[in-house]
Amino acid sequence: MLMFVHISPEPDAVGETISTLKFAERVASVELGAAKANKESSEVRELKEQVFAYFLLLISIKKRLLMSSS
């Protein structure tokens, strides 16, 4: 991992420079796992289809209610 940080040579910016260096140190200690594809499982796909079907049903019911109240 490569990270660039900007530190200021100005005496007024010592606090910010120290904070930046501490942050860079914490970032350097982070270990990332291996990258993996974010694939949608068949169960998730099925649940999304169910949600969409319920959404369409809800729209249909709302339309019928609006027509019956007119």
Domain segments of the chain: what residues?
1-36, 39-70
The pLDDT confidence band at residue 26, using thresholds 50, 70 and 90, is very high
Distance in angstroms (rounded) separating the CA atoms of residues 3 and 32: 14
Q: What is the pLDDT of residues 29-58, one digit of tens each?
A: 888 888 887 777 888 899 999 999 999 999
Q: Which residues contact 1 (CB under 8 A, 6 or more apart)?
A: 27, 28, 30, 32
Residue 6, pLDDT score: 87
Mean pLDDT of the chain: 89
Residue 25 has pLDDT above 70, yes or no: yes
Residue 1, pLDDT score: 67
